[in-house]
Amino acid sequence: MKNFISVAALVIVMTSCQKNTEQQPAPSSSSSPTQLAAAPVTAVNAVSTTVTTEAALKSAVANAKAGDIITISGTIKLTSTLQLLNSGTSSSKINISGGTLDCSGQPSGSWGVKVNGSWWNVQNIHITKAPDAGIVFQTGGNNFVNNITTDFCGDTGLQVYNGAFNVSVNNCHSSSNHDAANGGENADGFACKLSSGTGNKFSGCVATSNSDDGWDLYGNPNPVTITGCTSNSNGFDVNGDGNGFKLGSSGQNMHHTITNCSASNNKAWGFTRNGNAKGAITFSGLTGSGNGSGLSDL
């Protein structure tokens, strides 16, 4: 009898302990002292700034650090090139977006915006009337570009240049750019030419009514990827080549990739290798009509 009572008591104790254990909530990962200390670091240090003047914009850019958010409100008239020289990090980019940058007050030959830094998000900005190129990415890398409009600039609207690498250009529009002094010879919608780095790509972009080419990859020493882009009515001045997509230059064997793009009503070719080795370019889904030299010589 004593043995039976002892066993019963033990079962009750074990059952009670089990219930107490099940009723205790599992520790939350957010309650970890280490995580609580680490998580707010970026948020605490990052600055969110809305700017309405050139002085405020240039101050915000000059002091920008990883995680900062710079918002342009309204139209800011620039009197000199806006230079994005600082760098974010892979996990905490510097962000700039919004508004219009009127570059008509800059000195002759100036770029509207120059990006030498890395790890930037550049989005939703209208860049207009730069004396030379609208926005140029050079030396830096790993920059994300989305919904930028460049128009009425004195050279190419948006250019990737001088070693810039891993620049991802998405959903951008470039139109009516014209280097009148050269008879339209140089002003493309988009250019990734001469000296850009590796990993550059364009997706969902549109080039319209630029005096030279829609896209120009002349002399580019590294492959470029172009997907889902459109190029129409380029080459309107006497010296403008007027190709929808110029994909290389003479003597090259450069393996660019172009997919699901359209080119119509351009002065010369819709798609041209421009002397790049025959068969070097990977292409599919190319459409268009009304191009002066034909759709493609790829």
pLDDT for the residue numbered 82? 98
What is the number of alpha carbons within 13 Å of residue 205 lying toward its C-beta? 30
Asked if 250 and 218 count as a contact pair (C-beta separation under 8 A), the reply is: no
Alpha helices in the chain (DSSP H): 2-23, 33-38, 41-45, 54-62
The CATH code that applies to domain 48-296 is 2.160.20.10
Can you tell me the mean pLDDT for 219-225? 97
Asked if 266 and 235 count as a contact pair (C-beta separation under 8 A), the reply is: yes
Answer whether 0.75 is exceeded by the pTM: yes
Distance CA 172, CA 123 (A): 9
pLDDT for the residue numbered 44? 52
Q: Which two tokens stand for residue 88?
A: 């974010």
Q: Is 222 helix (H, G, I), strand (E, B) or coil?
A: coil
Residues that are catalytic: 246
Asked if 157 and 177 count as a contact pair (C-beta separation under 8 A), the reply is: yes
Asked if 118 and 144 count as a contact pair (C-beta separation under 8 A), the reply is: no
Number of H helices, E strands in the chain: 4, 27
pLDDT for the residue numbered 16? 39
Can you tell me the mean pLDDT for 73-100? 98
- Residue range 28-65, pLDDT digits in tens: 333 332 333 333 334 458 899 999 999 999 999 999 99
Can you tell me the mean pLDDT for 232-252? 97
Asked if 44 and 20 count as a contact pair (C-beta separation under 8 A), the reply is: no
Can you tell me the mean pLDDT for 255-269? 98
Distance CA 259, CA 238 (A): 30
Listing DSSP states for 27-71 in one string gives PPGGG-HHHHHHTTHHHHH--EEEE-SHHHHHHHHHT--TT-EEE
Distance CA 243, CA 294 (A): 10
CA-angle at 124, arms to 122 and 126, nearest 5°: 100
Q: Is 250 helix (H, G, I), strand (E, B) or coil?
A: coil
Residue 229: CB atoms within 10 Å: 26
Can you tell me the mean pLDDT for 168-185? 98
Residue 85: CB atoms within 10 Å: 13
For the chain, the structural domain boundaries read 48-296
Give the DSSP letter of residue 287. B
